[in-house]
Structure 1
């Protein structure tokens, strides 16, 4: 496996629950979608930061050992996860609370069961809801985030990435498979604009944070607060327009040079 992927998937990788615990000293969790149950990979709920800002948070986590990774399905969210996230986003819009998402996931669960319960519709509903949010939303890529499964959270006003994180339409392994093995996983990372630096150069990513920062948790939370402070004065129509403009600008950067 490519060393970059090994680092991203290491057991001691900074996790969404760790960031959320530091960001929100007090938090009320949202558990389940009231239909299919709870997705263990998703930490979702509401709380108040140390500065007094009320937030809604969504965190996707792979797990840290074999047992937790099995329980969390390696971070591949299922239908209950997306529907729970949608509940949180809907409540946030109702009460005027910004939404912060923290992502490290391979993509959405692609099992027959998830497809049977409407996985594609659940993802589409969350993409639509985040795009039309009347409150600011910020996403932070702590590790990997691939496919529509990650895009559902990344339809955001501000995108922050750790400098070694990845965000793409498919995982490096999937890109390699699509190209019938013509490229290695390492080559795939460099072939497409999935790294933080490449995405920032195309205007999609707003801020890149050094993953080796000795105060990484504090640096991430400070970046979140700073980005939200810059967005909170914008009216709802401007927030919606800004999200669309961000992705339209990115599309204009294609084809990849």
Structure 2
């Protein structure tokens, strides 16, 4: 059953009434209500179009965080074959909020790395809600090193509220681990492409997304801080998150204009959570296109391309 967001309450009522009419029709001896249900479906579809036609940045944040939105695990299972997960950072532990390993994308050997939030209470706790600890970033560095050694393209799927800010993570060098992962992204001489599939939060996202090509799903967000965190700092009031979301320019559309992302992947009507299979298919096609655009480039050219992209970003942003 679809979980509705607060701005979708009128839509929930319409779709709920249509489902009630269908349930009545299915009941033994029930009256024929198919015409009434179809009329409500049509009205609900029009309302859905209107709601998603002009979403505010805060509403896009809500969609990016929707619990039924496809997560990294869903993409890996649907798009990649022969996936062999690799665990641990060879230093402290395995971080379950970061998953990655060797795989094939349409028979092309690759390394895939991503944040995983989990789908239910148990898996969300196990995955730490997608907030990586230092060992998660060190695992990513280990996987990128492996990719560089064997000449395998790296694909990263970003979906995190940000790196875990707990005491233990700080004691084990959280900021240093993030910096090392970002540095490794800039160093490896293989194609590196990244897709923001939900939230791209702070340095926790940058550590995976410092890529040759960056794509964002239409309703994903990417920002230096969450709107709530920004509001708490600037206005001492987390309830001003709507104003903060506007000011942060965190939507895929804003970031495309600023040169932060290279392309926007359209989502199914009503968001990726309404048709996960279609969203996953679109992401897979975009990844293949981005990798194809990097085919034939030498390791030196790939590193240069990546470094210039990020060194020029501030100038492009000012120009925009």
TM-score for both structures, normalised by structure 2: 0.76
Deviating more after overlay: 125-134 vs 210-219:
210-219
Q: Distance in 2 between matches of 1:254 and 1:48?
A: 36
Matched, 1:237 2:293: no
Deviating more after overlay: 130-139 vs 241-250:
241-250
Contact 1:60/1:75 (8 A) holds in 2 = yes
| 1:34-70 deviations in Å (ceiling 9; x for gaps) | 22211111111001122x2110000102111222211
Q: Distance in 2 between matches of 1:11 and 1:45?
A: 25
CA RMSD of aligned residues (A): 1.8
Deviating more after overlay: 131-140 vs 31-40:
31-40
Report the number of matched residues: 256
Matched, 1:155 2:200: no
Instruction: Look up the match of 1:73.
Output: 128
CA drift of 1:120 comes to: 1.2
SS class of match (2:216): strand
Structure with higher Rg: it is 2
Instruction: Look up the match of 1:186.
Output: 242
Matched, 1:112 2:112: no
Instruction: Look up the match of 1:208.
Output: 264
Contact 2:227/2:248 (8 A) holds in 1 = no
Contact 1:192/1:256 (8 A) holds in 2 = no
Instruction: Look up the match of 1:221.
Output: 284
Matched, 1:8 2:64: yes
Instruction: Look up the match of 2:183.
Output: 128
Contact 1:193/1:256 (8 A) holds in 2 = no
Q: Distance in 2 between matches of 1:97 and 1:253?
A: 30
The gaps in structure 1 that reach 5 residues or longer are none
SS class of match (1:33): coil
CA drift of 1:136 comes to: 0.6
Matched, 1:141 2:196: yes
| 1:148-190 deviations in Å (ceiling 9; x for gaps) | 1110001100001011111111111111112124782222222
Q: Distance in 1 between matches of 2:223 and 2:246?
A: 12
Q: Distance in 1 between matches of 2:319 and 2:292?
A: 33
Equivalent residues in 2 for 1:90-105 (5 A)? Answer: 90-105=145-160
Matched, 1:58 2:91: no
SS class of match (1:252): helix
